[in-house]
Amino acid sequence: MYENVVLGIANEAIFTVLLVSAPILGAALIIGLLISILQATTQLQEMTLVFVPKIVVVFVVLLFTAPWMLNILTTFAYNLYSAIPSYIYL
């Protein structure tokens, strides 16, 4: 019985991490792909050209999605703390 509880908490935690990190990782992936296509078409092979736009896009996405991320994380923490009494009596 205890294994099911631990695995359920771990499953919810992994899902929460994936949900929160998806917008940032997706934006970084898309901007990296676009810059790579631009570099391939112009034959400009500068390795540092990718980093500045990617950092800017990640910060902008983080700025816009931070309230949503905080809401997801606080909901997860609230649900975890509120379920502690039910975990004790198993």
Averaged in consecutive runs of 10 residues, what is the pLDDT profile of the chain (90 residues)? 86 96 96 90 81 93 96 96 83
Residues 56 and 51: their CA atoms lie apart, in Å, by: 9
pLDDT at 90: 59
Q: Is 10 exposed, middle or buried (0-12, 13-18, 19+ CB in 10 A)?
A: exposed
Residues 72 and 50: their CA atoms lie apart, in Å, by: 30
pLDDT at 88: 81
User: Which range of residues forms the domain containing residue 38?
Assistant: 2-88
Domain count, the chain: 1
pTM: predicted TM-score of the whole model, two decimal places: 0.79
